[in-house]
Structure 1
């Protein structure tokens, strides 16, 4: 008798996206396995066959989110000027942080402000922050080379400030603060660059 292995009857990216949205909204601890199975539309055996366990699924969801966010950093890389790059980045970021079709804020920021279940997740969060800080720093370095930014400006500290503004916008969006105030803050910072 010939046995044929059953193929998975779901799209891994789609179910991972649904898990990501639930983890983003509820956090790691509050997202139960039954909740995950319901939003993902898969069986318990499919979840464990595909993702091993809840922690692995959470890590995969964070990586999925990070891959989808790379386009924001590309705004900084393609910017023709420092001010335009920073403005466009934050304009896009504020719009996505306040997007009512999403859980609010940023999944990585939410993960960073709750207890992470393991070191791999903590490292993923740290890397995400460092990557964005580096993208800001590279744009500011280009600005110094082109003369747009004074050579004496401490661009490492300015990059860290922009990273922190990014994170604070996420938290303010999560708490329902007015997005116009975030836009005013960014305009104020850009004027001083």
Structure 2
């Protein structure tokens, strides 16, 4: 009987994907450091024991949230991947990202950029590695799209890829505070310089 009770205690009484999505939204809005385990308990609707049993700790949960965030971004990334317009496709990605970052009327910017800015390079190595891996994937995608212009040499493509990635970091910030017109002006200015 006791063995049966132990098995029942271990079974999850919640949908893991659903609680990860709730945690992702909270981290995205409040930041990694600004989100306490108590806040996660309340938002996710599960207790601290369940969080630790399922994810190990707050960092483990956050790493799952980064994967969830990537899946949510997949739609606009897929649009960019399919684009045959090179620079025009990247520009559309910037606009699509702004719409994505304002989901549910909350101006949240980019979860990855927000966290990199919040934690800095000397923080948790595993977290930073995962965040930088994601940034590297976006940079590679930008480079691939820039290669669609046969007039660009590899040095120019590399330089412009870094410029666009840096501009995305800036877009994450301005999308939280600028008006729609100011954001459009920012994006148009970025691309007028290429």
Q: Where on the TM-score scale, by shorter chain, does this alignment land: which range?
A: 0.7 to 0.9
What is the number of equivalent residue pairs in this alignment? 188
Farther off after superposition, 150-159 or 74-83:
150-159
Note if contact 2:22-2:43 (Cα within 8 Å) is conserved in structure 1.
yes
Name the CA distance, whole Å, in 1 between partners of 2:32 and 2:158: 33
Quickly say closer, same or farther: Cα 1:192–1:29, change in 2 above 3 A.
closer
Q: What is the match of residue 149 of structure 2?
A: 143
Deviates more, 1:183-192 or 1:132-141: 183-192
**8 Å contact kept, 2:107–2:175:** no
Gapped regions of structure 1 (runs ≥ 5): none
Q: 2 CA distance for matches of 1:157 and 1:105?
A: 24
Q: 1:64 and 1:164 mapped to 2: Cα distance?
A: 23
Mark the CA change 1:150 to 1:13 in structure 2 (over 3 Å): closer, same or farther. Answer: same
Q: C-alpha root-mean-square deviation of aligned residues, in Å?
A: 2.1
Query: Do 1:94 and 1:183's aligned partners in 2 also have CA atoms closer than 8 Å?
Result: no
Equivalent residues in 2 for 1:146-161, closer than 5 Å: 149-151=151-153, 154-161=156-163
Deviation, structure 1 residue 107: 0.8
What is the alpha-carbon distance in structure 2 between the residues aligned to residue 46 and residue 152 of structure 1?
50
Asked if structure 2 preserves the Cα contact closer than 8 Å seen for 1:106 and 1:170, the reply is yes
Q: Conserved in 1, the CA contact under 8 Å of 2:109 and 2:175?
A: yes
Question: Against the structure 1 CA distance between its residues 50 and 160, is the aligned structure 2 distance closer, same or farther, given a 3 Å change threshold?
Answer: same
Alignment correspondent of 2:12: 8
TM-score w.r.t. structure 2 length?
Answer: 0.86
Cα pair 2:87 2:145 within 8 Å, conserved:
no
* Structure number with higher relative contact order (C-alpha < 8 Å, ≥ 6 residues apart): 1
What TM-score, normalized by structure 1, do the two folds share? 0.86
What is the match of residue 182 of structure 1?
Answer: 183
Does the 8 Å contact 1:86/1:190 carry over to 2?
A: no
In the TM superposition, what is the alpha-carbon distance from 1:171 to its structure 2 partner? 0.8
